[in-house]
A = this chain, B = another copy of it.
Amino acid sequence: MKPYPRVAIVGAGFGGLQAAQSLARQKVEVTLIDRHNYHTFIPLLYQVATAQLAPEQVAVPIRTLLRKADNLKFLQATVKQIDFVAKEIKTDKNTLTYDHLVLATGSQSQFFNVPGAAQYTFKLKTLNQAITLRNHLLSCFEQANLTSDYALREQLLTISIVGGGATGVELAGSLVELITNSLHRDFPQLKPQEVKLLLMQSGDRLFREFPPSLGDYTAKKLRRLGVKVMLGSKVTGVGADSFKLDDGTEIASATVIWAVGVEGAMPKCFPCPKPRINRQVNVLPTLQLADHPEVFVIGDLAHVPTQEKSLAGVAPEALQQGVYVAKAIRKQVQGKRIKPFSYFNKGRLAIIGGYSGIGQIAGIKLQGFVPWFFWLAVHVVYFPDWRNRLMIFLTWLHNYLIGDRPVRLILSSPKSPSC
C-alpha cells in the first residue's frame, strides 16, 4: 500500500490548528509544528494582562485538540530552516520531509524604527508577554502604594497604550474596570483618579477598520470612563520609564504598551521570495506560492493580493483559510483543480469595556451593550475547548456580577532570595 501524503503545518495558531483539525481522519499524515505545546486564544490575551482570566484559561494543550484523530501528530519544536526544493524542514529537534506544506506562523509586533520601542514597551502577542504585563502592572501598584515621592508615584500610575485599534481599546477598557472594581479595594490609599490611562492614536480616530461614527462613539465612551484618548499623537521614542511624542512632549510612564503595528512573523530562514514591506508572503489567490504550488501560506503571514482591502488580520480569516487549505490539499492529492480562496465576512465586533462594544454585521452598525454581550458570547462559543469555555464563562460571571478580578498574582520569580 502506498503511504499517505505527508502534510507539515508550521504554527498552531487559528489558521494552522484549523487546517490540522480539518484534515482529521483524511488520507494524509499531518504533522503540526509549534514551539509551544499549547494553542493560545490570542483575542483574550488582553484579559490575562489585566488579571481578568488566568493564563491556563486562554491556552489549550495542542495534544488535547489533536487526540481524536490518529493521522494528526504534534511536534513541539522551533523551525530552523525550510528547503522548498528538497521539501525538508529542519527543526531544533529533528528533520522532516513533506509533500504539502502549510506556513501559518502568524504575526509579530512591528516597531517602525521608533527608538526604544522594541526594548522598553510591553507587547501582547504571546501568553508569556501577557503574564509579564500582568506582573508588571500589579507590581507598579504595589510600588506606588509604598512611595511618598509624588513624581515617582505619578510615573508608576501612568499607563500608556500606543495604538487605537482593537488591542489598544480593549486594554484601555479592561484596565479601567480593573482599577475601578478591584484596585481601590486593594489599595485604599491610592485613589482611582490618580491612575492615568493614556491611549495614543497617530491617526485622527480610533478603530480605523470601522465606520467613523463607531470610532467616535468609542472615543467618547473611553473618555467617559476616564481614559485620556490622544488622537493625532505619534510616539517618537520610548525610554525605560517615559516616552516622547512628535510635538516634543515627554511623558513619565512606567508602563508603555505597544498595541500598534503588525507584520508577518516570517523567520529569516524561510526562503520565501520577495517579502512585502510588512514581512508578509505574497501568495496566489489559492494561497499557494507561485513557484511551489505544494506550499500554502495562511493567516496573518499571507498577503492575498486580490483581497488586500478586506483582510484585516482577524481570527475568522485565519480559521476560514485553515478550512480552505485542508480542502485544497485534498484536491491537490486527488489531482483536482483548486478554486481561489474567498473570505466570507460575517461582520465584526469589538469590545470597549464598561458594558459597551461596537460592531458591524451585514452593514448594520451596533454600539453599546448588545455588541459587548455578543463579543463575549462569540468568544466563548469559538473557544476550541469545552472545559476552558466553562471556566471562562464562570470567571466572567464573577468579573461582571461581583465586580472583581480574582487572578491578581505577581507570578514572576522574585529577583532576590529571601535574605
Contact for A80 among B76, B92, B419, CB less than 8 A: B419
Q: How large is the interface on A (under 10, 10 to 19, 20 to 34, 35 or more residues)?
A: 35 or more
Is A216 interfacial (CB-CB < 8 Å)? no
Is A394 interfacial (CB-CB < 8 Å)? yes
C-alpha spacing A265/B38, complex, angstroms: 36
Is the Cβ of A409 less than 8 Å from the Cβ of B37?
Answer: yes
Chain B, residue nearest A127 (CB): B411
C-alpha spacing A408/B64, complex, angstroms: 9
C-alpha spacing A78/B417, complex, angstroms: 8
Is A268 interfacial (CB-CB < 8 Å)? yes
C-alpha spacing A413/B410, complex, angstroms: 16
Is the Cβ of B142 less than 8 Å from the Cβ of A186?
Answer: no
Is the Cβ of B76 less than 8 Å from the Cβ of A37?
Answer: no
- By a CB distance below 8 angstroms, the chain B residues around A390 are 394
Identical copies of this chain, number: 2
Is A3 interfacial (CB-CB < 8 Å)? no
Contact for A406 among B64, B94, B187, B407, CB less than 8 A: B64
Is A269 interfacial (CB-CB < 8 Å)? yes
- By a CB distance below 8 angstroms, the chain B residues around A209 are none
Contact for A269 among B61, B416, B419, CB less than 8 A: B419
Is A56 interfacial (CB-CB < 8 Å)? yes
C-alpha spacing A407/B385, complex, angstroms: 12
- By a CB distance below 8 angstroms, the chain B residues around A223 are none
Chain B, residue nearest A414 (CB): B35
Q: Closest CB-CB distance, A265 to chain B, in whole Å?
A: 7
C-alpha spacing A38/B135, complex, angstroms: 12
Is the Cβ of A410 less than 8 Å from the Cβ of B56?
Answer: no
Q: Please list the residues of chain A having a beta carbon within 8 angstroms of any beta carbon in chain B.
A: 35-38, 54-57, 59-61, 63-64, 67, 70, 75-76, 78-80, 92-94, 105, 127-128, 131, 138, 142-143, 146, 185-188, 265, 267-270, 385, 387-388, 390-391, 394, 398, 404, 406-411, 413-414, 416-419
**17 intermolecular pairs with C-beta atoms under 8 Å apart:** A35-B414, A35-B418, A37-B142, A37-B409, A38-B410, A54-B54, A54-B56, A56-B409, A61-B186, A64-B408, A78-B416, A78-B418, A78-B419, A80-B419, A92-B416, A128-B413, A394-B394
